[in-house]
Amino acid sequence: MLEASDLYAWYGEGQVLHGINLKVGKGQRVAILGRNGAGKTTLMKCVMNGGPRVAGRVTWEGQELGTLPAFKRARLGLALVPEDRRIFEHVTVVENIEMARYAAGPGRAAVPVNEIFERFTMLGPLASRLGGQLSGGQQQMLAVARAVAARPRLLLLDEPTEGLAPVIVEQLARDVRRTCEESGIGLMLAEQNIWFARQCTDYVYILSTGCVAFEGDWAHFDSNRETAQRFLAV
């Protein structure tokens, strides 16, 4: 479904990615692991055309995306939840979700708001609360729910557990996995929390200084603990 080929990225003169090759199949759930500065967020932004200068190819269902802007990529079925969430703090939870539904593309009806609240049960009682009045964990739930409202085919989550309490991390893992399984949504998850990544995904890439240092399923990951220790330990 999604493929990055020989992907390079720069911010100004600073190069961040060095020839990334990566695939996410239809309905597949993939974790992108790595330390801070490894290039995880930059990779997500490259997929969505969200800022870096890029060389190489990003293809979606065989179509090279080239310079296609982010809003048109969203219409194709990609949805990014950025590291800093970027919910609308001055409007309510319901209004955040309603606005996100407009990103649904042709042939993909947006998810009704009541169905979003059934999937993300924490948000229902908060429906009329302003985004800026939510806790960090509640804002993260809303950011994910907002992305799901457009009925994406591939959900990109960038460091969703950062700064969250363990109980919220557990709830988020359940909600993300169930939503992907029930709706057939693929997942590309950039994360440092290995437990969370394991709950939500089936395949792993490890980035180190902008390069792919490892790829394989979780069984392969477990049998290569030295590799994980080398590239993930702080």
What is the per-residue pLDDT across 122-154, written as a single tens digit (0 to 9) for each? 999 999 999 999 999 999 999 999 999 999 999
- pLDDT the model gives residue 234: 56
According to DSSP, the β-strands at 154-158 and 186-191 are parallel
* The pLDDT of residue 41 is above 90: yes
The rounded mean pLDDT for the chain is: 93
* β-pair partners for 208: 211
Type of residue numbered 226:
E
Query: Measured between alpha carbons, how far is residue 96 from residues 67, 124, 127, 130 in Å?
Result: 28, 13, 10, 9
* The pLDDT of residue 90 is above 70: yes
- pLDDT the model gives residue 196: 96
Window from 88-92, 103-107, 117-121, 193-197 with minimum mean pLDDT: 103-107
User: Backbone phi, then psi, for 169, in 5-degree steps?
Assistant: -60, -45
Q: Which of 14, 1, 79 is nearest to 42 (CA)?
A: 14
* The pLDDT of residue 228 is above 80: no
